[in-house]
Amino acid sequence: MNGHRLRCAAGFIVLLAASGLLAAGASASSSALPRATADRADDVSGPQIHVVYAVPADGEDRHLDDNGALEGSVSSFQAWLAQETGGKALRMDTYQGSLDVTFVRLAQTDAQLAAAGAFVREGIQTELQALGFNAPQKLYAVYYDGSSTYACGGAFWPPSLPGNVVAMYLRGLPSSPVPCGSNAFAAANQAPRYWEYAMLHDILHGLGYVPSCAPNHHRAGHVTAPNDDLMWAGDVGFWTFPAKLDVGRDDYYGHGRSDCPDLATSPYLVTLQAPAEPKPPATPARPKVVSFTMTKARAGATFKATLRLDARVLRATCTATVGKTKIRASTVIKQTRAECTWRLPKNARGKQLAGAVKATTAGGAATKKFSRRIS
């Protein structure tokens, strides 16, 4: 498996340099979700691909997760795949209709991970699994903003090589004539470029393609010809673009045989639908009182009442009377607490102090009344 990854990386990059496809970066998508450091709630259940933007401990964070770069790139290869299949593409993990991308700052430095040589992917996978990225039926497509001296990416290939992470090494092969980082991402409305084809290529590896039972299977998960096939890795020539999905429909897509896996029947492939409408925000729950405390009521001293709720307090109203005379309060809001403070008159001993504290949240208001004899 290690050898085929080197072949993929070297062949792809040399071709791109010759083809003049090293264009400027794609414009960002305005619909990208804000940064998240955990997998959000899934829009749908079932097998799906979850995207991760991972940065080494000492690496530069280019915000590819929330500036739209990765969302645009995924949209580009999804559109290409749908065109090749007649409307089917991968089921990507989404949240409220937008691609769910998780940001992870890894514990290892770029040098530590690169020192693994052909096993950078395995190092990333070990860290992500320890962080909980091991949900059943999820394949994790990682854009690693770090280097590799071996390749521009790596994949697992079941059943020969199990796993749940495929990864692009965005700063791979820094000393080569054409470093991996020379490639730009495609925007959602653009044809795929190197990173789009390469990520889709490795995702298909992770799904078990090209299976060894395919008639043109070659080099652990590839096909021998033609060299514009998405899963090509031949011995002569270079991978060429635009790519095609299973040329001849006889190896891994649409062959219709029951004796060899077919991507056309994979549960990870679904018919594309119109983007889901964002879910309306949930109506905030009415606040509940967590606690209500008061100090002793003494003439000539301050009296303080504190109302604490289970939600953030937006406004507070403090009212009180000594006998029949209203007294003015100072009001302070501290997150979920409303604090009211009054100065009791010096001649108020023996009189009745009565009042209320009202705290208002996004979900409504809560009020606590009080009555004390002033000592």
Kindly report, residue by residue over 95-128, the tens digit of the pLDDT.
Answer: 999 999 999 999 999 999 999 999 999 999 999 9
DSSP 236: S
Q: Is the dihedral of CA 239, 244, 245, 246 positive or negative?
A: negative
Instruction: For residues 128 and 219, state if they share a domain.
Output: yes
CATH number for the domain that contains residue 369: 2.60.40.1930
Task: Supply the pLDDT for residue 281.
Answer: 74
Instruction: For residues 196 and 235, state if they share a domain.
Output: yes
pTM of the complete model: 0.69
Contact indicator for 244, 260 with CB cutoff of 8 Å = no
Q: How far apart are CA 371 and CA 375, in angstroms?
A: 13
Instruction: For residues 11 and 138, state if they share a domain.
Output: yes
What is residue 365's three-state secondary structure?
strand
Instruction: For residues 257 and 355, state if they share a domain.
Output: no
pLDDT score of 9 more than 90: no
- Is 278 contained in some domain? no
- Identify any residues that bridge with 366 across adjacent strands, giving them in sequence order: 359
Read off the tokens for 160.
């020969």
- Is 104 contained in some domain? yes
- Is 280 contained in some domain? no
Where helices occur in the chain by DSSP H, the ranges are 2-19, 69-85, 110-114, 120-130, 194-206
Task: Supply the pLDDT for residue 277.
Answer: 66
Instruction: For residues 306 and 266, state if they share a domain.
Output: no
pLDDT score of 13 more than 70: no
Among 239, 271, 303, identify where a domain stops.
Answer: 271
Count of structural domains, the chain: 2
Instruction: For residues 211 and 88, state if they share a domain.
Output: yes
- Is 281 contained in some domain? no
Query: Rounded mean pLDDT of 146-159?
Result: 96
Among 271, 305, 337, identify where a domain stops.
Answer: 271
- Is 283 contained in some domain? no
Which tens digit of pLDDT belongs to each residue from 319-372? 999 999 999 999 999 999 999 999 999 999 999 999 999 999 999 999 999 999
- Is 279 contained in some domain? no
pLDDT score of 7 more than 60: no
Which tens digit of pLDDT belongs to each residue from 23-61? 223 334 457 899 999 999 999 999 999 999 999 999 999
pLDDT score of 18 more than 80: no
Instruction: For residues 297 and 267, state if they share a domain.
Output: no
Instruction: For residues 111 and 260, state if they share a domain.
Output: yes
Which tens digit of pLDDT belongs to each residue from 274-328? 555 666 777 888 999 999 999 999 999 999 999 999 999 999 999 999 999 999 9
Instruction: For residues 178 and 75, state if they share a domain.
Output: yes
Domain that holds residue 323: 289-373
Task: Supply the pLDDT for residue 6.
Answer: 30
- Is 172 contained in some domain? yes
Name the more confident of 277 and 216. Answer: 216
